């Protein structure tokens, strides 16, 4: 693991990676932190390690985001334990610049005294929640994050859901400034008491830590009421306050219910709300939040080609009375369109143009178990997308950024209200990372080749040898697993089912009972 303190050294390293021996573009994951790393950060590091070839952690206590009366001087700085934790997590580089190195040449403790070009997020997002008391804080965050993103130019950057306002503002700045990075959010990690992990928990004495657990308990009270049908923000907020009042040492700063994307306050919660609070315990300021989602459950089924995902997903959907979405069919339909139009598969620019304009219609029949019917630009392609030609090209298309962005957007629209079984390669990891049940369906390549051969036979397609079939599958799996964007991976919280020797009915039953255990019975 390397430790850099200067921009010049970091840039030099990044250049050397780009010009690596194989000249293959390497995915870079950036985890921006202020140090004093804990188990919450560790999940960000692990996720970054899983998804990228190179993982860079920045440790910088950013003076721009501290107000004059805040804890900039006191904020815990502990490079050696941080270094050890990063080393263990398989981090490649730690970047630890000084304020001077980051262009804050007065080491500015006060935001206003730093002469620096700054990034100003929309007022509507910075004036609510923590922005009410922390003036200038989010401008400081937006500025430093933009600087780090520009310096490292990562493929992905990782942030915790605990700082939900920060996350929403960063997502917005990335969208508004067209920054070429994927923002990955990781769930809040909590102590067994429910207290959300935070570097500032170090300030708490044992008894205060115990008292602080009321924050999450109060949010859970509101969640319970929400799940029982309460939709009024005022009522839910009143419940939080009632619970907090049981611990007199807690001094509530705010509790608000806002739209998690725009941060606009909500009176009534139609689809989803971010219920967030900040409170003081002695001199320590703590924040916490919970997402309230009025959505039916989502079942995500991922796995390699030929593992039986589509048949199983369709049957699971039917058994549970949910909708079934075959995302592979969408990638296939786009591939068919590109092949039809004579655009070379490598011509990403022309493909981006047609993908953004194409209209895909999927019609799932809930009476029969027939495959989903597919139309692209009004032409039915249900059969055509299963041809050998489409199958052999689809992974190359599915690796292209514009194709994925467009199709993922459409898939997320399908899933907005939940109540859906979605099957593909990146559903549990990227499309619906908060799916209630995640399954990773797999089988040996021999078994999968046999199944695919049978499938082709049933469709009257050319008969490939078993060996050829296996080679095709291995190649497609390799492409799907090794692409930079949203590769095929088992989500850490998914349940793996190896389907060799199991009938479709057996696999379906297994998933249906997992659903009943995990989702219906909570
Ligand atoms: O499941 P299938 O064989 O119909 O999928 C066809 C291809 O589409 C697969 O090789 C990779 C791609 N795909 C993807 O990249 N992401 C998904 N969510 C679904 C499919």
Q: How far is the CA of 357 from the centre of ligand 1 (A)?
A: 20
Last residue of a domain, one of 153, 186, 219: 186
12 and 128 together in one domain: yes
Q: How far is the CA of 2 from the centre of ligand 1 (A)?
A: 37
130 and 232 together in one domain: no
512 and 454 together in one domain: yes
The DSSP code sequence of 123-178 is HHHHSSGGGGTSTTHHHHHHHHHHHHHHHH--SEEEEETTSHHHHHHHHHHHHHTT
Tokens 């920060």 belong to 166
310 and 178 together in one domain: no
279 and 342 together in one domain: no
**Structural domain that includes position 515:** 299-521
**Ligand 1 atom closest to the CA of 305, numbered from 1:** 3
Q: Whose CA is nearest to atom 18 of ligand 1?
A: 424
Lining residues, ligand 1, CB within 6 Å:
305, 327-328, 331-332, 394-395, 398, 424-427, 476, 480
Tokens 């139609």 belong to 270
Tell me what percent of the chain is helix, strand and coil, each rounded to the nearest 5.
Answer: 45, 20, 35
Q: How far is the CA of 425 from the centre of ligand 1 (A)?
A: 6
285 and 303 together in one domain: no
Q: Which mean pLDDT values do the consecutive 10-residue runs of the chain (522 residues) have?
A: 96 82 74 94 92 94 89 91 96 96 67 75 97 93 97 95 97 97 92 93 93 97 95 98 97 97 97 96 95 93 93 93 94 97 94 94 72 92 92 94 93 92 95 94 94 80 83 90 86 93 94 90 62
Structural domain contains residue 272: yes
306 and 285 together in one domain: no
163 and 212 together in one domain: no
Give me 2's structure tokens.
């390397």
The DSSP code sequence of 235-271 is HHHHHHHHHHTTSTTEEEEEEEEE-TTT--B-SB-SS
Structural domain contains residue 191: no
Q: Whose CA is nearest to atom 13 of ligand 1?
A: 328
CB of 286 within 8 A of CB of 279?
yes
487 and 374 together in one domain: yes
Pocket perturbation via mutation, ligand 1, pick of 394, 405, 420 by most ligand atoms within 8 A of CB = 394
Q: Whose CA is nearest to atom 20 of ligand 1?
A: 328
Q: How far is the CA of 309 from the centre of ligand 1 (A)?
A: 11
Last residue of a domain, one of 245, 260, 293: 293
Residue 354: what pLDDT? 94
The DSSP code sequence of 311-339 is HHHHHHHHHHT-EEEEHHHHHHHHHHHHH
Residue 41 bears catalytic tag: yes
375 and 401 together in one domain: yes
Catalytic residue among 38, 41, 137, 430: 41
CATH code for position 132: 3.40.50.620
Pocket perturbation via mutation, ligand 1, pick of 304, 328, 477 by most ligand atoms within 8 A of CB = 328
Altogether, the residues listed in the chain come to a count of 522
**Ligand 1 atom closest to the CA of 399, numbered from 1:** 15
Q: How far is the CA of 490 from the centre of ligand 1 (A)?
A: 15
CATH code for position 339: 3.40.50.300
Q: Where are the alpha helices (DSSP H) in 417-465?
A: 445-458
Residue 111: what pLDDT? 47
Q: How many distinct structural domains can be found in the chain?
A: 3
Residue 112: what pLDDT? 47
């Amino acid at each position: 693991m390397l430790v850099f303190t200067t921009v010049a050294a970091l840039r030099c390293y990044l250049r050397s990676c780009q010009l690596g021996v194989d000249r293959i573009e390497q995915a870079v994951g950036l985890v921006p932190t202020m140090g004093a790393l804990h188990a919450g950060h560790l999940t960000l590091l692990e996720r970054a390690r899983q998804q990228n070839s190179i993982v860079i952690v920045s440790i910088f206590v950013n003076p721009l985001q501290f107000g004059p009366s805040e804890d900039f001087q006191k904020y815990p700085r502990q490079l050696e334990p941080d270094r050890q934790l990063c080393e263990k997590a398989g981090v490649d580089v730690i970047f630890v610049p000084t304020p001077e190195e980051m262009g804050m040449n007065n080491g500015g403790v006060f935001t206003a005294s730093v002469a620096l070009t700054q990034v100003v997020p929309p007022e509507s997002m910075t004036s609510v929640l923590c922005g009410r008391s922390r003036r200038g804080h989010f401008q400081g965050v937006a500025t430093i994050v933009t600087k780090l993103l520009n310096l490292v130019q990562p493929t992905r950057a990782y942030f915790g859901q605990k700082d939900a306002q920060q996350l929403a503002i960063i997502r917005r700045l990335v969208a508004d400034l067209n920054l070429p990075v994927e923002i990955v959010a990781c769930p809040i990690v909590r102590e067994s008491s429910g207290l959300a992990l935070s570097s500032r928990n170090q300030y708490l004495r044992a008894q205060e830590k115990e008292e602080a657990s009321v924050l999450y308990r109060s949010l859970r009270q509101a969640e319970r009421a929400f799940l029982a049908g309460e939709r009024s923000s005022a009522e839910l907020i009143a419940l939080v306050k009632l619970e907090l009042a049981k611990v007199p040492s807690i001094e509530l700063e705010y509790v608000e219910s806002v739209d998690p994307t725009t941060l606009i306050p909500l009176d009534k919660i139609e689809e989803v709300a971010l219920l967030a609070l900040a409170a003081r315990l002695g001199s320590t300021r703590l924040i916490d939040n919970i997402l309230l989602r009025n959505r039916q459950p989502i079942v995500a089924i991922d796995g390699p080609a030929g593992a039986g995902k589509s048949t199983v997903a369709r049957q699971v959907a039917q058994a549970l009375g949910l909708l079934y979405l075959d995302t592979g069919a969408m990638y296939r339909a786009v591939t068919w369109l590109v092949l039809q139009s004579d655009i070379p598969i490598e011509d990403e620019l022309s493909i981006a143009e047609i993908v953004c304009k194409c209209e895909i219609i999927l019609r799932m029949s809930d009476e029969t178990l027939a495959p989903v019917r597919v139309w692209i630009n009004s032409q039915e392609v249900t059969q055509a997308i299963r041809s050998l030609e489409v199958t052999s090209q689809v992974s190359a298309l599915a690796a292209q950024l514009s194709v994925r962005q467009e199709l993922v957007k459409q898939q997320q629209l399908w899933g907005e209200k939940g109540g859906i079984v979605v099957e593909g390669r990146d559903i549990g990891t990227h499309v619906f990372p908060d799916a209630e049940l995640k399954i990773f369906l797999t089988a040996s390549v021999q078994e999968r080749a046999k199944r695919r051969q049978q499938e082709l036979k049933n469709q009257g397609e050319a008969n490939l040898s078993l060996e050829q079939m296996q080679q095709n599958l291995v190649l497609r799996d390799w492409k799907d697993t090794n692409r930079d964007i949203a590769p095929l991976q088992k989500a850490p919280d998914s349940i793996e089912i190896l389907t060799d020797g199991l009938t479709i009915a057996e696999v379906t039953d297994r998933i249906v009972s997992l659903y009943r255990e995990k989702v219906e019975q909570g």
